[in-house]
Structure 1
Amino acid sequence: MSSTGDVKFQYLAAIFVNIVSISFGAYCGWTSSSFLDLSSDESPLETGPLTDQDKGNVAAVLCLGGLVGNVFFAWMAERCGRKISMLWVTLPSLLGWVLIPFARNPTHLIGARFLGGMAGGGVFGVIPIYTAELAEDSVRGILGTFLVLTCNAGVLLAFVLGYFFNYATVAWIVSTLSILFLVCFWFMPETPQHLMNRQKPQEAEHALRYYRNIRSRQSKELSEELQLELHKLRAPENPEKCCDDVDDSVVTWADFVAPTSRKALLIGLGLVTSNQGCGCFAMLNYTAFIFDESGSSLSPTIAAIIVGIIQVVGNIVATTLVERAGRKLLLLISAAGICLSQATMGAHGYLKTLGYDTSGFDWVPVAAFSFMLFIASWGLLTLPFLVIAEILPPKIRSTGNMILMGIMWLLSMTTIKLLPLLSTMWGIHAVISIFSSVSLCAALFIARFVPETKGKTIETILANL
């Protein structure tokens, strides 16, 4: 077990790289209060207040930008390195925030949000890989949860700032996070795994010494540990392919159809489908509507802040428990809890539709919705990114993660666009009931197919797939 001193630079790197995920979280939460200003009669836009269609386009284009950014930055991470790729994420993140105060019509806002989505694609496409490749087995789970924790902290930050400032001032304030990220992360080394994959053993050893905090200690024991870890990074994944005329750095179709890779990709596909199919992320866009349907007297802004706090607290719980309870148990509890919460919300809405007097129980949807977000933050909204980065073989980790995150962005865009349409056709209670069924299927899938990765080396995880 590593001491605190041994892992402090791993924590530092994880904190610094996730500064930009706070910025992306703020993009996700910015619409909550900003749409109130932009759709009012006093809208500063030259084209007048935003229409419902405008708001849908501005909200959903974030996912389209995420899809494009995921492909681009994952490709850059493989070609140029994880560090360089993340530094370039600063550009669309900063430009998106700077464009918002100067927006004069919905098209300008769509462009700004597309850039913010590109940054989000880089965040979810590269940070899990970066974290998994630099972290020791004992802290890999904790560092992996920082991504969603900081993202939700950014959502909460946007909610709180939106309560005190107008939409343009919020954009200016949050834009400083991109600069802060650039300054802090600039000095972090590349991951040892990527450097070794690029045939740079000396640089890989330097990076490994930095992240293991053994740069100035030369004892025999530590030196042997370092050499053993370097040997693991250098060792080929499949000894049968270790031939002089084979370039192990080139990813081929055979790498994807190998039994271990194929199973890892299928498990990853199930996790990203569960992550978006449970509907929690899509329902976040309709927080105010759900509170309003319940008869709550809270203002939409206050309701959003409460939701943001619930998510952050849930993420903190996940960070605390992930190396104690394990990934699989938290994912299972989370999926089951989401299913139960949504079933409760759906039943309440259905009874109300049938004409029953539910006035004495209108607090139930709010309580169930709040519990859903809390329990979702334990696992299904937090841990899939960590587990995917852990189970993918190193050779296809970047490309495989790009494919899975691309599917996630497509599913996210689809659920956000379909939710209001299906709600109009069938009622919000029916849509929530569908989400509940998907959550139940997710729990069964996790129980049957998802491996436990807590405390295991990458080699052990791959051998058990």
Structure 2
Amino acid sequence: MVKEDVLHYASAKYQYFARDMNLLTIGYGCTCGWTSPSIILLTSDETPLVSGKITMDEASWLAFLICVGGILGNIFFGFITNRFGRKLLLILISIPTNVNWLIIFFASNVYQLYVARIIGGFVGGGVFVIIPLFLSEIACDQAGRKFLFLVSTFGTALGLITLRVYMMLKTWKYNVEELNWIPIASFSFVIFVASCAILTLPFLVISEIIPENLKEFGVSFCMTLLWSFAFIILKYLPLLTGTLGFHGSMFLFAGACLSGAIFIMFYMPETKGKS
């Protein structure tokens, strides 16, 4: 009974660790998302910036400069994680997080916001390198990753295809007034089902399937690729939607999800019960 109590205590302790560490991820989510509602204000005459309202081109740079910071953070933390240890870096990462928010709070022009955005991305790069490594080392009872990924990828594709069909019918002047609830329902469903795996598990699974002697470099390399593709997509999404239309872009993204689902089905190893 004593041994069982000790194991139970250790399991509970590690679950608390995992919960507390993921607060950093939630904090980064705030850092990542503040621009979405704020760009409307920053581009208006009521902008709080002393230098005046920003242009749409400046707003686009504000949106995707976080990816530049993410790449820098991946490379930096990928190299120093082993030298200084996960715990110390998880503590120290709060420093640039606070610097980021202080710059945003006191910013008087768009260039200061650019700096804050890069610092915020730098923090995200560290979060997505350190936390998956830490979680993979303290994980107890792991869920089946492959099943969650399949549900998430197929579900996301379904939501995007539904939205695509609605937008296509609307573009072709069909009467879809009675179906005007579909866009918000589709977006909500996509966000929900993508959060089950696509948006959350890659960082953990990468650290589970890469060999121990390559783990730091491998996680950093994969996250750098992710940030690079995110940068490209954010930068050229307006061009893509202008060429293919909104419904065409949704169909392209749905196809990418289905391709990912097929790859996962045949090639992704199940990491349940492994570390």
Pick one of 50, 55, 61 that aligns with 1:57: 61
Contact 2:28 2:124 in 1 (8 A): yes
Contact 1:346 1:430 in 2 (8 A): yes
- Once the two structures are TM-superposed, the CA of residue 32 in structure 1 deviates from its matched residue by 2.5
In the alignment, the residues of structure 2 paired with residue 376 and residue 20 of structure 1 have an alpha-carbon distance, to the nearest angstrom, of 20
Measured on the aligned residues, the alpha-carbon RMSD in Å equals 1.6
In the alignment, the residues of structure 2 paired with residue 454 and residue 128 of structure 1 have an alpha-carbon distance, to the nearest angstrom, of 15
In the alignment, the residues of structure 2 paired with residue 9 and residue 353 of structure 1 have an alpha-carbon distance, to the nearest angstrom, of 54
Give deviations 1:118-150, integer Å, cap 9, x for gaps. Answer: 0000000111001112333x2xx3xxxxxxxxx
The amino acid of 2:251's aligned partner reads: S
Pick one of 109, 118, 122 that aligns with 2:113: 109
Pick one of 36, 40, 60 that aligns with 1:32: 36
| Match of residue 356 from structure 1 | 174
Moved more, 402-411 or 27-36: 27-36
The amino acid of 1:449's aligned partner reads: Y
| Match of residue 209 from structure 1 | none
In the alignment, the residues of structure 2 paired with residue 364 and residue 427 of structure 1 have an alpha-carbon distance, to the nearest angstrom, of 18
Alignment of 1:276-291 (within 5 A): none
| Match of residue 430 from structure 1 | 248
Pick one of 112, 116, 123 that aligns with 1:119: 123
Contact 2:129 2:203 in 1 (8 A): no
| Match of residue 147 from structure 2 | 329
Pick one of 187, 192, 195 that aligns with 1:369: 187
Give deviations 1:203-231, integer Å, cap 9, x for gaps. Answer: xxxxxxxxxxxxxxxxxxxxxxxxxxxxx
In the alignment, the residues of structure 2 paired with residue 360 and residue 89 of structure 1 have an alpha-carbon distance, to the nearest angstrom, of 49
Secondary structure of residue in 2 paired with 1:43: coil
The amino acid of 1:372's aligned partner reads: V
- Once the two structures are TM-superposed, the CA of residue 355 in structure 1 deviates from its matched residue by 2.0
Give deviations 1:39-92, integer Å, cap 9, x for gaps. Answer: 221112122112211111111011110110111012110222222222332222
Structure with larger RCO (C-alpha < 8 A, sep 6+): 2
Q: Runs of 4 or more off by more than 3 Å in structure 1?
A: 1-4
The amino acid of 2:194's aligned partner reads: A
Secondary structure of residue in 1 paired with 2:45: coil
Pick one of 215, 219, 233 that aligns with 1:401: 219
5+ residue gaps, structure 1, are 142-322, 459-465
- Once the two structures are TM-superposed, the CA of residue 394 in structure 1 deviates from its matched residue by 0.9
Moved more, 34-43 or 69-78: 34-43
* TM superposition score normalised by structure 2: 0.93
- Once the two structures are TM-superposed, the CA of residue 93 in structure 1 deviates from its matched residue by 1.0
In the alignment, the residues of structure 1 paired with residue 261 and residue 34 of structure 2 have an alpha-carbon distance, to the nearest angstrom, of 32
Contact 1:93 1:119 in 2 (8 A): yes
Contact 1:77 1:84 in 2 (8 A): no
- Once the two structures are TM-superposed, the CA of residue 3 in structure 1 deviates from its matched residue by 4.8
Secondary structure of residue in 1 paired with 2:34: helix
